Amino acid sequence: MTTDFQLPAIDYQAISPLLILFGVACLGVLVEAFVPRPARRRVQLGMALVGVLAALGAVVLLAGTNVVTAGGSVTVDGPALFMQGALLAFGVVALLLIGERRVEPGGAFVAQPAITVGSEADQRQASAPGATEVFPLAMFSLGGMALFIAASDLLTMFIALELLSLPLYLMCALARRHRLISQEAAVKYFLLGAYASGFFLFGVVLAYGYAGSVDLAAIHAAVDTSQMNPALLYAALALIVMGLLFKTAAAPFHVWAPDVYQGAPTPITAFMAACTKVAAFGALLRVTYVAFERLAWDWLPVIGVIAVLTMLVGAVLAVTQTDLKRLLAYSSIANAGFVLVGVLAVGRTGASSAMFYLVAYGFAVLGAFAVISLVRDREGETTHLSRWAGLGRRSPLVAGVFTVVMLALAGIPLTGGFTAKFAVFSAALEVGEGWLVIAGVVSSVIIAFPYLRVVVMMWLSEPSESTATMVAPGLLTGTALGIGALAVVGLGVVPGPVLDLAHDAALFLR
Chain positions contacting other proteins, by CB under 8 A = 1-2, 4-8, 10, 15, 22, 25-26, 29, 32, 70-74, 112-115, 121, 131, 133, 136-137, 140, 143, 147, 155-156, 159-160, 162-163, 166-167, 169-170, 173-174, 202, 206, 209, 228-229, 231-232, 235
Shortest Cβ 15–other proteins spacing (Å): 8
User: Of 181 and 437, which CB lies nearer to other proteins in the complex structure?
Assistant: 181
**In whole angstroms, what is the distance from residue 408 CA to residue 413 CA?**
8
User: Of 1 and 224, which CB lies nearer to other proteins in the complex structure?
Assistant: 1
User: Of 137 and 264, which CB lies nearer to other proteins in the complex structure?
Assistant: 137
Shortest Cβ 318–other proteins spacing (Å): 24
Shortest Cβ 162–other proteins spacing (Å): 6
User: Of 152 and 332, which CB lies nearer to other proteins in the complex structure?
Assistant: 152
Q: Determine contact, residues 443/334, Cβ cutoff 8 Å.
A: yes
CA atoms within 13 A on the CB side of 114: 0
Shortest Cβ 228–other proteins spacing (Å): 7
**In whole angstroms, what is the distance from residue 497 CA to residue 160 CA?**
30
User: Of 184 and 504, which CB lies nearer to other proteins in the complex structure?
Assistant: 184
User: Of 135 and 289, which CB lies nearer to other proteins in the complex structure?
Assistant: 135
User: Of 3 and 378, which CB lies nearer to other proteins in the complex structure?
Assistant: 3
Q: For residue 449, which amino acid is it?
A: F
Shortest Cβ 271–other proteins spacing (Å): 15
Q: For residue 8, which amino acid is it?
A: P
Shortest Cβ 502–other proteins spacing (Å): 27
**In whole angstroms, what is the distance from residue 31 CA to residue 264 CA?**
25
Using CA atoms of 478, 483, 486, 488 in order, give the dihedral in degrees to the nearest 10.
Answer: -120
Shortest Cβ 61–other proteins spacing (Å): 21
Query: Buried (b) or exposed (e) across 297-333, using 16+ Cβ within 10 A?
Result: eebbeebbebbbbbbbbbbebbeebeebbbbbbbbbb
Shortest Cβ 14–other proteins spacing (Å): 12
Shortest Cβ 428–other proteins spacing (Å): 32
**In whole angstroms, what is the distance from residue 417 CA to residue 412 CA?**
7
- 417-to-103, 149, 339, 447, 454 alpha-carbon distances in Å: 28, 23, 12, 13, 17
User: Of 235 and 316, which CB lies nearer to other proteins in the complex structure?
Assistant: 235
CA atoms within 13 A on the CB side of 445: 5
* CA 344 from centroid of its chain's CA atoms: 19
Shortest Cβ 7–other proteins spacing (Å): 6
**In whole angstroms, what is the distance from residue 326 CA to residue 260 CA?**
9
User: Of 147 and 359, which CB lies nearer to other proteins in the complex structure?
Assistant: 147
Query: Buried (b) or exposed (e) across 12-35, using 16+ Cβ within 10 A?
Result: eebbbbbebbbbbbebbeebbeeb
Closest to 127 measured CA to CA, from 145, 109, 141, 153: 109
**In whole angstroms, what is the distance from residue 391 CA to residue 413 CA?**
24
User: Of 19 and 296, which CB lies nearer to other proteins in the complex structure?
Assistant: 19
Q: Is 369 helix (H, G, I), strand (E, B) or coil?
A: helix
**In whole angstroms, what is the distance from residue 483 CA to residue 442 CA?**
30
Length, in residues, of the chain: 510
User: Of 167 and 484, which CB lies nearer to other proteins in the complex structure?
Assistant: 167
DSSP string covering 432-459: T-HHHHHHHHHHHHHHHHHHHHHHHHHH
Shortest Cβ 314–other proteins spacing (Å): 23
